[in-house]
Amino acid sequence: MEHQKIYLIIVTYNAMKWAEKCFSSLRKSSVPVHTMVVDNGSYDGTQEFIKTHFPEVEFIQSAENLGFGKANNLGIEKAYKNGADFFYLMNQDAWIFEDSIQYLLEVYENYPKKEEIGILSPMHLDGTEEKLDVFLDKYISQNFENRMISDLYLKITKPFYEISFVNAAHWFLPKATIEKVGGFNPYFFHYGEDNEYVNRLRFHGKKILLCPESKVVHDGKQALNKVNYQQFKDLSLETKILDPTYKNGLQKELKSLQLSRVKNLLTGNFKFAKELKSKYDKIKSESSNLQEIKNKAAQAGPTFLNL
């Protein structure tokens, strides 16, 4: 694996709280990485700090806040054109250990059907480095059929476990994933883009492998309801509609919203009925755009990327 080129891409927005720990950890990696930062318009000195203390980092300054997905796409595009073999997408509030990437590469090398691999994920620890990130606890528990909980308890873990979802705080993507699934959907600004990406990943027959030997840190808020939907739009319904595996999803969800609204009107729940009408009107007004995006998302290739 000596000749594999790994690009580690970090989107920053006021990252000073974590910058020292984040970028220092990358220097200690046993596997060399090319680090690329896409800054979304920080105003806390993040840009100057990185350029001064970590001059090896390739820096892209966005003129505006593009959001998580679009900014990552910029980094992916540049890394691909620079000959990247692997793309490691990492949050700014995160860091790795010396052997984190090495263990991921070992799983990739020993996996018999590499064309099936969509994402390799390490084990996310929280900021204390003493517990699993609460979200990883959730993802593992939702995949109890793989018996990982049992294996963790008995300390007999396997090299990898297939899992249905893991958030994009630490994603290790082979080049083939980018070429088959593409980049993030620009419809999403912040939150939901990783869910939508995983839907496309599954549609194209690829898997997410969670690798117990590889440990990393995600210093995120340890609360399952951390998303403030007053600040960020709840696009879970749009995500469902855009899923290429969900046939006639747009029509089905519009019909469901209508039926639910009528039911709530009949039972006197006028406030919720009003919310359902608002959601229906929004989806209806975006129908053509959503269908166009869904058709594009179903295409195999570097979708949503300019390669």
Q: Give, in degrees to the nearest 5, the angle at Cα 22 between 17 and 28.
A: 150
Q: What is the pLDDT of residue 191?
A: 81
In a domain, 182, yes or no: yes
CATH of the domain at 196: 3.90.550.10
* Judgement on whether residues 70 and 149 belong to the same structural domain of the protein: yes
Domain limit, last residue, from 154, 188, 218: 218
Look up the pTM and report it: 0.94
Contact (CB, 8 A) for 170 and 218:
yes
What is the pLDDT confidence band of residue 267, given thresholds at 50, 70 and 90? very high
Token couple for 152: 């963790």
Q: Provide the domain limits for residue 277.
A: 235-298
In a domain, 32, yes or no: yes
Write down the mean pLDDT value for the chain.
Answer: 95
Long-range contacts of the stretch 303-307 (C-beta < 8 A, 24+): 303/181, 303/182, 303/183, 303/200, 304/73, 304/182, 304/183, 304/184, 304/185, 304/186, 305/73, 305/76, 305/77, 305/80, 305/178, 305/182, 305/183, 306/77, 307/77, 307/80, 307/81
* Judgement on whether residues 214 and 247 belong to the same structural domain of the protein: no
In a domain, 292, yes or no: yes
Residue 226 in this model has a pLDDT that exceeds 90: no
pLDDT, tens digit (0-9, with 9 covering 90-100), for 25-81: 999 999 999 999 999 999 999 999 999 999 999 999 998 999 999 999 999 999 999
In a domain, 25, yes or no: yes
The average pLDDT across 5-18 equals 97
The Cα 126–Cα 128 span in angstroms is 6
Contact (CB, 8 A) for 265 and 273:
yes
In a domain, 39, yes or no: yes
* Judgement on whether residues 214 and 250 belong to the same structural domain of the protein: no
pLDDT, tens digit (0-9, with 9 covering 90-100), for 104-162: 999 999 999 999 999 999 999 999 999 999 999 999 999 999 999 999 999 999 999 99
* Judgement on whether residues 214 and 239 belong to the same structural domain of the protein: no
Residue 2 in this model has a pLDDT that exceeds 80: no
Q: How far apart are the first and last CA of the chain?
A: 25
